[in-house]
Amino acid sequence: MGKLSGKRVIVIGGSSGIGLCTVRALLEQGSQVVIASRTSERLERAASELHGQVETAQVDVQDRGSVAALFERFAPFDHLVNSATGGPRASGPFLQMDLDGFVGSFQKLWGYVHSVHLAAPHMQATGSIVLVGGALSRKCRPGMSAHSTVGNAVEGFCRAVAPEIAPLRINVVAPGLINTPMFEPMGAGRHDFFSQATSEHVIPRVGQPEEIADGILFLLQNEFITGTTLDIDGGSLLP
């Protein structure tokens, strides 16, 4: 039996993309999983794809009351994964960017801050938290300054709180470009975008959400790792 067998894990953002793949991997390990996100239809679709093996809960990470109610409902639990984008994020040349858009991009950070603050009191001491950051934090592409700044804040937040919430552990996984439903609005054109955006990477292809889920499970299980960021990005940070 693996370390995650029988453990109760809450995955916020578990109805899509990286979160949903993480849920599949957790179920394979025998975890009891709760998936949470804003849209009931997405939650129901995910639960049906997973053959009803998960519990679902509607939550908006911006609404502290709903986040607190989520954790109270499923307490005590072992692990928390938060991959929620949190809301719209702004992109474009910094000097032309709408500043409200830049500020609004921090909804992702505030969602993570809310979830860690409100979850920790309900978690088993042996538990851990994984937040999903992004490789843009340390290698910003033109037009992505808001994403990059938020990503740095997520990594800094993790390092800052890790000593205070110990023995609970907290880590960040920082994906490169990953093929998830986030890019579906781009239609078929997303495949050209993926090829162009990754052509200079050491591993020149878009990543798959399963490859990020692998890293998340590693961070949940390794009991000697906290306050760190795991890069899974096809070597995109290298020169």
Ligand X SMILES: NC(=O)c1ccc[n+]([C@@H]2O[C@H](COP(=O)([O-])OP(=O)(O)OC[C@H]3O[C@@H](n4cnc5c(N)ncnc54)[C@H](OP(=O)(O)O)[C@@H]3O)[C@@H](O)[C@H]2O)c1
Where in 125-154 is the site for ligand X (CB under 6 A)? 132, 134
Helix H segments across 126-238?
A: 145-165, 190-198, 209-221
DSSP state letters, 169-194: EEEEEEE-SB-SGGGGGGGGGHHHHH
Which range touches ligand X (CB under 6 A), out of 70-78, 172-180, 190-198, 217-225? 172-180
User: Would you count residue 181 as binding ligand X (CB under 6 A)?
Assistant: yes
Q: What CA–CA distances, in Å, run from 94 to 91, 144, 145, 146?
A: 8, 8, 7, 8
Interface residue with ligand X among 7, 8, 24, 38 (CB under 6 A) is: 38
Q: Which residues contact 24 (CB under 8 A, 6 or more apart)?
A: 50, 213
Distance CA 29, CA 39 (A): 26
User: Would you count residue 230 as binding ligand X (CB under 6 A)?
Assistant: no
User: Would you count residue 111 as binding ligand X (CB under 6 A)?
Assistant: yes
User: Would you count residue 104 as binding ligand X (CB under 6 A)?
Assistant: no
User: Would you count residue 182 as binding ligand X (CB under 6 A)?
Assistant: yes
Three-class DSSP category at 61: coil
Residue with tokens 């109270």: 72
Interface residue with ligand X among 84, 161, 165, 230 (CB under 6 A) is: 84
Supply the minimum distance, in Å, between the C-beta of residue 120 and ligand X: 18
Residues of the shown chain interacting with ligand X in the complex, contacts defined by CB under 6 A = 12-13, 15-19, 37-39, 42, 59-62, 83-87, 108, 111, 132, 134, 175, 177-178, 180-182
